[in-house]
Amino acid sequence: MTEKIILASGSPFRKALLVHAGVAVEAVPAEVDERALEAPLKDSGISPEDVALVLAEAKATEVSERKPGALVLGCDQTLSLGDEVFHKPADMEAARRHLLALSGKTHQLNSAVVLARDGAVLWRHVGIASLTMRKLDPAFIGRHLARVGAKALSSVGAYQIEGEGIQLFERIEGDYFTIVGLPLLPVLAKLRELGAIDG
């Protein structure tokens, strides 16, 4: 007996990962203001991993309250460089500044997932990956951004490792799914445990 999972996200990429894994999923984007939720957390000393969890939980519970009885998966990802948390760049200049800041350093991607039903959290998990960017020449950053265009604005790090962004790195520790924003193996294991998918 499997059940339809609701993904509290408008991300076509996250939905595709689940669909390709054989999970029946419906996307219902959460109606939450992420920046407003995050603002009071900034000076609280909360870790970037916990910021991602707070946001993922807010999305999962908001949608689960609108969809009674449904199993809802909320996701969020933060990028942290030390104590600094990065957000999706607003424009190409912000993308350029992101890549300059990350150049030659190791940053962390924190991919949080939360399962909720009827406003109650059933499970939380954060997958973490460490990525070391090679030292980038500023002129190369400009040429790279010109090639990838607006795609650079769709992720917190201004890169996609599934595309040309892989050329920016010298070392990656962590699984692919965590890096692209959905730690799929722990999610599938929990869905099997809950009897939501065939196991």
The catalytic site residues sit at 76
Report d(CA 90, CA 5) in Å as an integer.
Answer: 31
Q: Distance of CA 81 to CAs 13, 39, 62, Å?
A: 24, 18, 29
The answer to whether 2 touches 24, Cβ cutoff 8 Å, is yes
Q: Distance of CA 32 to CAs 9, 42, 112, 142, Å?
A: 11, 17, 16, 34
> What residue type is assigned to position 175 of the chain?
D
> What residue type is assigned to position 75 of the chain?
C
Report d(CA 129, CA 106) in Å as an integer.
Answer: 10
